[in-house]
Amino acid sequence: MLRCDSVRQKEKNDWKVLVMDRLATRIISASCKMHDIMSEGITIVEDIMKKREPLAMLEAVYFIQPNEKSINELINDFDKAHALVPKYKAAHIFFTEACNSELFTRLTQSKCAKHIKTLREVNIAFLPYERQVFTLDSPDTFYIAFNPTPSPYRAAHLDVIAEQIATLCATLGEYPIIRYRAENEKLLEFANAVQQKLNQYKADDSTMGESADKAKSVLLILDRGFDAVSPLLHELTFQAMAYDVLKIDNDVFEYDVQTPGSDPKNNSGQKQKVILDENDELWTELRHQHIATVTTSITKKIKDFATQNRVKDSDQKERTTMKDLSLMIKKMPQYQKELNAYALHFIIAEQCMNAYNRESGEKLCSVEQNLAIGTDAEGERIKDHMRNIVPLLLDNAIAIEDKLRIIMLYILHKNGITEENLDKLLSHAIIPTDKKNIISNMQYLNLQIIQDPNRAGRRKNIPQTRKERPEQVFTNSRWTPYVKDIMEDVIDDKLDSRQFPTIGGGQRAPTAAYSATSSRGFGGWMNNKKGPTYSGPRLIVFILGGVAYNELRCAYEVTQSNLKKWEVFIGSDHITTPKQFLRDLEMKLRQEDEQ
């Protein structure tokens, strides 16, 4: 974008302004650093939604989503009705995805038009969150998709989501077969919208998805109702646990760093913020490990590091503590960077375990696993779950959110309960009545929450036929997210075609006979792209309404278990934690500070 001929810095003083909206800002933040942007001739980065000072001597590069809000702000920057003089000398406009004809016409007929030097689609309207994970950065999609009150902008919003998914497939060079969960009737309409968008990209680039292996690629569209258990459980793998029990905002973790030699009782240390992402190799290595394995793994790494760097044997102990690490940093300042990395993850693991022990984690996890699976750790069927649940509901030390999670898991296990029994449970747990709607709103995910005699024959809330996984070694981590079974069935070509039908019967039109016309003809914005480096088939899983952190792990595990013959991607409109899932179920649009 910043290196195209019309934008590239041609002289030393040829500086430009970069103006972005929320999605574009997060795409850039996920892709490059500030110094990378500055090195391409950008002198200042601005938020299009905020008040900005005019810089009439500089040209502006706009990277925005082609929606009404962003385009209105763009037009206003060059309209004398809103600014006495144009804010910038000229505009180089890059849209994240295709602009609809109505907004495009409004832009080209505005006073902004004569200032436009560049107008292109980048066709990247998603965030590459991790190596095999993507998000569309649209947390309000849950409310818009599942709210029972008809929304005037639901169709338009889902059309944007469909376009974003299509840009992902185009970026990966995939023209996949689309399968969807049949039980949610609205998914058929959504899947067809995605297919239509993909056809338009295919018309622009006939090489998309071309090869024998690529022809097997699948885009599987699910909705959050397919598995409501996974987002509710207390997970004990490192990443999922940390995001559940610690305060991590936008992947930023804040912690106290002790000055070597200082007394932690008298000195709380300096506040430090770190981003938990794939630039941190240790985080990437540890994130999917069980918390018990993480603590021993970090201790072993510290010992190996100490041995390699000739720390005296007398300084090494059987169990490493933060005090030991602080002393090592003091003795070996030349290795401060490496030791600080160990210290960071030691702190995260320690805080996770402290929260686990403080918040009755052992009892909660045990009851949750029993409810999710229906049997205890020995595989025996539990006849009376209430004997284990009631003591937790009566315990004032357990947070209301955790009690809600227990009640919701119980209801899912029972396939619904009576309204009277639900009120009794809420009363026992001393849960405010305004929280009841969080539970009852689960019905809009097509789950049975309040028992309905007329629907007694419907499917179970929790899938009953699950794969046997004898490799589980931790009794409080027995549950496997349902999406893992589905991923493996797609790859093994065993996925039930009635439950997960294919758009168009699974037949892909041959390239030579392809007749779809391109809707991307506005000035020939599409550029020829280099083909993808990965040549094997891909499975792309999209979950409408949020994907949980324990489900992200499944994409990596399935890719590894099939020896990378298939590469699995997973994503959603947003990545959800248990707290965020409860917030979503309130069925309210998010405020600006919650986005």
In a domain, 472, yes or no: no
513: pLDDT strictly greater than 50 = no
pLDDT digits 0-9 by tens, 326-368:
666 666 666 777 878 888 999 999 999 999 999 889 999 999 9
| Residue 124: per-residue pLDDT | 93
Place of tokens 């390699």: 308
Residues 62 and 136 in one domain: no
Tell me whether residue 53 is in a domain.
yes
Strand 116-121 with 91-95, pairing: parallel
The share of the chain scoring above pLDDT 70, in percent, equals 85
- Report the pLDDT value the prediction gives residue 501, as an integer from 0 to 100: 97
Residue 9 maps to a domain: no
- Domain count for the chain: 4
More confident residue, 160 or 261: 160
Of 26-35, 115-124, 222-231, 411-420, the least confident: 26-35
78 and 97 together in one domain? yes
Based on the fold, state whether residues 152 and 203 are members of the same structural domain.
Answer: yes
Between 300 and 64, whose confidence is greater?
Answer: 64
- Could you tell me the strand order of the sheet in which 270-275 lies? 248-249, 252-257, 270-275
For residues 402 and 337, membership in a common domain is answered with no
Q: What is the pLDDT of residues 235-260, one digit of tens each?
A: 999 999 999 999 999 999 998 876 65
Q: Specify the pLDDT at position 595.
A: 57
Mean pLDDT of the chain: 87
Q: Give DSSP secondary structure letters for 5-17.
A: TTTS--STT--EE
Verify that 59 and 136 share a domain, yes or no. no
In this structure, how many other beta carbons lie within 10 angstroms of the beta carbon of residue 428?
16
- Where residue 332 sits, what CATH number does that domain have? 3.90.830.10
CATH number at residue 108: 3.40.50.2060
pLDDT above 90: residue 490: yes
488 within some domain: yes
From residue 83, alpha-carbon distances to 112, 231, 254, 329 in Å are: 12, 47, 41, 56
Q: Is the domain of 244 the same as that of 350?
A: yes
pLDDT confidence bin for 560, thresholds 50/70/90: very high
Residue 546 binned pLDDT confidence (cut-offs 50, 70, 90): very high
Which residue, 104, 121, 138, sits at the end of a domain? Answer: 121
Residues 108 and 142 in one domain: no
Residue at 462 is within a domain = no
Asked if residue 528 and residue 508 are part of one domain, the reply reads yes
Rounded to an integer, the average pLDDT of 80-101 is: 88
Q: What's the pLDDT at 520?
A: 38
Residues 255 and 340 in one domain: yes
The per-residue DSSP string of 348-385 comes to HHHHHHHHHHHTTHHHHHHHHHHHHHSB-TTSPBPS-T
pLDDT of residue 270: 82
- Domain containing 24 equals 16-121
> Left if phi > 0, otherwise alpha if psi is -120 to 50, otherwise beta: which for 516?
beta
Of 49-63, 85-99, 293-307, 332-346, where does mean pLDDT reach its minimum? 332-346
pLDDT at 332: 66
If asked whether residues 345 and 368 sit together in one domain, one would say no
Residues listed for the chain:
595
In a domain, 519, yes or no: yes
Identify whether residues 242 and 353 lie together within a single domain: yes
pLDDT of residue 306: 76
User: Which CATH number does the domain housing residue 156 bear?
Assistant: 3.40.50.1910
pLDDT digits over 210-232, tens only?
888 889 999 999 999 999 999 99
Q: Given the structure tokens 């949750």, which residue do they identify?
A: 368
User: Is 285 within a domain?
Assistant: yes
Share of the chain above pLDDT 90, in %: 67
pLDDT of residue 77: 94
Here the CATH number for the domain that contains residue 370 is: 1.25.40.60
- Check whether residue 94 and residue 167 sit in a common domain: no
| 533 in a structural domain | yes
DSSP class of residue 593 equals: G
Of 301, 331, 358, the residue that ends a domain is 358
